Amino acid sequence: MSRKISYYTKEGLEKLKSELAELKGKGRAEIARQIAEARDKGDLSENAEYDAAKDAQGHLEAKIAQLEELLANARLLDETNIDTSKVSILSRVTIKNTRNGATFTYTLVSEEEADLKSGKISTLSPIGKGLLGKKKGDTAVIKTPAGEMTFEIVDISI
């Protein structure tokens, strides 16, 4: 399996570490409790609760392994080294739709940190890809699932 390096903000990296700690602590304890409870109910060969608890344990351990892999390949982004003359990861970009004049402000982040509700879009999304490398005043023509859209880069900041 190839190791995919992912870049995170301090907030995003802390969130991953917190989730991993939660799964290893409370998650594993809860699964162990469920398995013990099911085991106390008798014959394991015909015990659906036991099978379900063991399946849940498998899913939990897979999630833990996935998070450990992500953290092993995670790199913290240093905001002081971000070039604001062009759009890059961690850039806060204000764009204007040239068709209807609507403006949007997004922060470009890694795929794992993307959250549209909080204005964070992935650098791998169609809009994120289309904005990368653009400068203030540039126009970006972006192919989206809704069709081709044209945006003007109004501002770039951190």
**Quick one: how far is CA 26 from the chain centroid?**
22
With beta carbons less than 8 A apart as the criterion, state whether 95 and 103 touch.
yes
For 35-94, what is each residue's pLDDT tens digit? 888 888 777 677 788 888 889 999 999 999 999 998 888 888 777 777 778 998 888 999
The tokens for 40 are 């106390």
| Residue reference for tokens 């014959």 | 43
- Could you read off the pLDDT of 106-147 as tens digits, one per residue? 999 888 888 899 999 998 999 999 999 999 999 999 998 888
Neighbouring-strand partners of residue 23: none
Round to whole Å and give the CA distance between 137 and 156.
Answer: 10
Q: Six-digit token pair at 18?
A: 């917190």
For 60-99, b/e burial (b = at least 16 CB within 10 A) is beeebeebeebeeebeebeeeeeebeebbbbbbbbbbeee
Residue 155, amino acid? D
Query: What CATH class is the domain 6-76?
Result: mainly alpha
The CA-atom distances, in angstroms, between 123 and each of 40, 50, 147 are 50, 43, 19
Domain coordinates in residue numbering, the chain = 6-76, 79-157
For 79-157, CATH number out of 3.40.50.720, 3.40.720.10, 3.10.50.30, 3.40.50.10860 equals 3.10.50.30
Whole-model pTM over 0.85: no
